[in-house]
């Protein structure tokens, strides 16, 4: 019996300890006392309700205590709703405290919207108080005289709290500044004018209102460096001349090919004519034989024909010898 009573007592003690642990977990008494001592009273039922809603009481109460100490009055319901929306409660409260100390108009609803939009609201407040510098990449542009200039600018921006929701980010600022630099250099008559007055770039770009529709306000644009690049105009002219030369060469080659083809056609035509002459000459003996048979040609006529042929061959031999004679005389004179 004693062993039975001892086992029952041990079970009851363990059950009591488990119930006590559960109660202490459900009712964060230490957190409640801390809030009470800090002037941010929170009912125990509210803390128990947070547990039931799976909200970490410490994540809500500690920022609430910080806001209360800073003189801000925030609603636990708003903080809890922002937490359930997967927002950063601590970041939002710290941003509200920083904005209040810097006299920046920022309420909880706007801060929560900025945080839920994916932006760091605390960093935005810091940038609004302490502007930051954004450096552009190397921007290359060509002046009217064909000389390329490569510029680097530093843009000083300040966050605009009221345009953080829906406003464009730093990438848009950099893109617009780069576009302004290219446009300004491209409209310059000479690259020397830009090198002499690089501040003209920043003045022209700043006057265009590049921060419109962005989450920032551009305070200044400073040209950090301007380097001279390639002579783009000369390169383009060289490339054009090379292209023209290739076109002319192609046309000349086409004309040469056409001339060669025409020459071959003429040679073929000459050979064809020679073949016709040979064919015609081959008909002469046949015609003479036919004339003999028909009685239209006698022996004396044939003899005179042969004499004419021999005389013609002799004259051609004499003519060919006469054409070679000047060259022979030249050799003898040497």
20: three-class secondary structure by DSSP: helix
pTM of this prediction? 0.57
Site of tokens 């020459």: 263
pLDDT in tens, 93-150: 999 999 888 888 888 998 999 889 888 888 888 888 888 898 988 888 888 888 888 9
Structural domains of the chain, with CATH: 2-129 (no CATH), 132-233 (3.30.479.30)
Confidence of residue 331 (pLDDT cuts 50, 70, 90): very low
pLDDT in tens, 295-325: 777 777 778 877 887 888 888 788 877 655 4
Over residues 49-66, the mean pLDDT reads 85
User: Contact 140/148 with Cβ under 8 angstroms?
Assistant: yes
Q: For the chain, how big is the Rg over CA atoms in Å?
A: 53
Over residues 84-96, the mean pLDDT reads 91
pLDDT in tens, 210-259: 878 888 888 888 888 888 888 777 777 788 888 888 999 999 999 999 99
Sequence-ordered alpha helix ranges (H) in 88-231: 89-101, 108-116, 121-129, 170-186, 191-196, 199-206
Mean residue pLDDT of the chain comes to 82
Site of tokens 């954004």: 134
Give, in degrees to the nearest 5, the angle at Cα 84 between 81 and 87: 90
């Amino acid at each position: 019996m004693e062993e039975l009573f001892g086992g029952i007592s041990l079970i009851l003690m363990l059950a009591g300890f488990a119930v006590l642990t559960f109660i202490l977990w459900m009712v964060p008494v230490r957190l409640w006392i801390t809030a009470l001592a800090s002037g941010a009273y929170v009912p125990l039922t509210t803390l128990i309700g947070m547990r039931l809603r799976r909200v970490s009481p410490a994540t809500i109460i500690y920022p609430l205590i910080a806001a209360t100490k800073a003189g801000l009055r925030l609603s636990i319901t708003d903080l809890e709703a922002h937490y359930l929306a997967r927002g950063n409660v601590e970041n939002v409260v710290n941003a509200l405290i920083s904005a209040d100390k810097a006299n920046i108009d920022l309420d909880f609803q706007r801060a929560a919207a900025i945080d839920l939009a994916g932006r760091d609201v605390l960093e935005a407040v810091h940038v609004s108080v302490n502007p930051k510098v954004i450096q552009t990449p190397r921007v290359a542009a060509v002046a009217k005289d064909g000389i390329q200039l490569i510029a680097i600018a530093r843009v000083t921006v300040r966050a605009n709290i009221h345009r953080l929701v829906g406003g464009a980010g730093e990438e848009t600022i950099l893109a617009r500044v780069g576009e302004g630099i290219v446009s300004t250099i491209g409209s310059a008559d000479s690259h020397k004018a830009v090198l002499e007055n690089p501040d003209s770039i920043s003045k022209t770009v700043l006057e265009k209102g590049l921060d419109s529709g962005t989450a920032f306000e551009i305070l200044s644009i400073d040209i950090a460096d301007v380097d001279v690049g390639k002579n783009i105009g000369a390169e383009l002219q060289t490339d054009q001349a090379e292209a023209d030369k290739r076109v002319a060469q192609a046309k000349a080659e086409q004309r040469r090919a056409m001339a060669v083809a025409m020459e071959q056609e003429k040679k073929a035509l000459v050979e064809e004519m020679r073949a016709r002459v040979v064919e015609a000459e081959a008909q002469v003996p046949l015609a003479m034989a036919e004339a003999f048979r028909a009685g239209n040609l006698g022996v004396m006529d044939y003899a005179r024909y042969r004499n004419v042929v021999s005389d013609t061959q002799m004259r051609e031999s004499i003519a060919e010898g006469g054409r070679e004679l000047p060259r022979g005389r030249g050799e003898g004179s040497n």
